Amino acid sequence: MIQLSNITKVYKTKNGDLTAVRDVNLTINQGEIFGIIGYSGAGKSTMIRLLNGLEKPTTGEVIVNGEDIAHTSGASLRQARQKISMIFQHFNLLWSRTVEENIAFPLEIAGVSKSERASRVQELVELVGLNGREKAYPSQLSGGQKQRVGIARALANNPEVLLCDEATSALDPETTDAILELLLNINKKLGLTIVLITHEMHVIRKICHRVAVMEAGQVVEQGKVLDIFQNP
């Protein structure tokens, strides 16, 4: 479970203080697909950086699996962050490495043996539907295939939370749907908690259970997607 309590984030800028997130309270349940939607500048990226521990809130608590990552540092922060994984709008793949090398990368860093890496990579390749493309380089893949590599890499170390940062914003509508379908399957199969930020209503409607709507740093509405974005 993820719990944000009374979160405010103020950036010091040369033009003075800028409040990017103000008084946010959110609870995201284990195994849930939770969406955060808002226009550019609403505070979504700041929320993601608070959730993955890259940024500390000015006030408030960020509880992830029982640990307040806002008030943790060093080894225990690193340990908490190992349970949190991320996928990106522009995939952030290593361009000089193949599909299987990209997926194996976090396993290598974690010190997993070569033979164990190989079998884990094969499992992940199958999970995301990239069979036959193991030896390809990112430049030889379509956008959707690149995001499949991103997803496989993100899942390599069995995270409990997957953060999706505009993960379908660079994809065409059909590919977007296929990637959302994959995320939905992974959520069901692995019971993984998924938090996604987006500016696209379609993404929220298609896979999220609950949603928070952000405007100018505040959550102005939250609840079940069907209640908040009811068709008239």
Residues forming contacts to ligand ADP in the complex (CB under 6 A) are 11, 13, 18, 20, 38, 40-46, 90, 95, 143, 146, 170
Cβ closest to ligand ADP, residue 117 vs residue 146: 146
- How far is the CA of 167 from the CAs of 14, 46, 93, 196, 226, in angstroms? 31, 16, 13, 8, 22
Cβ closest to ligand ADP, residue 96 vs residue 158: 96
- Contact at 8 Å (CB) between 120 and 156? yes
Q: Least CB distance from residue 8 to ligand ADP, whole Å?
A: 12
Q: Least CB distance from residue 145 to ligand ADP, whole Å?
A: 10
Q: Least CB distance from residue 219 to ligand ADP, whole Å?
A: 12
Q: Distance (Å, rounded) from C-alpha 230 to C-alpha 232?
A: 6
Q: Least CB distance from residue 18 to ligand ADP, whole Å?
A: 5
Q: Hey, what's the torsion of the CAs at 170, 133, 208, 72, to 10 degrees?
A: -90
Q: Read off the tokens for 7.
A: 């979160």
Judged by DSSP in three states, 162 sits in strand
Bridge partners, 221 (sequence order): 213
Q: Least CB distance from residue 221 to ligand ADP, whole Å?
A: 15
Q: How many CB atoms lie within 10 A of CB 97?
A: 15
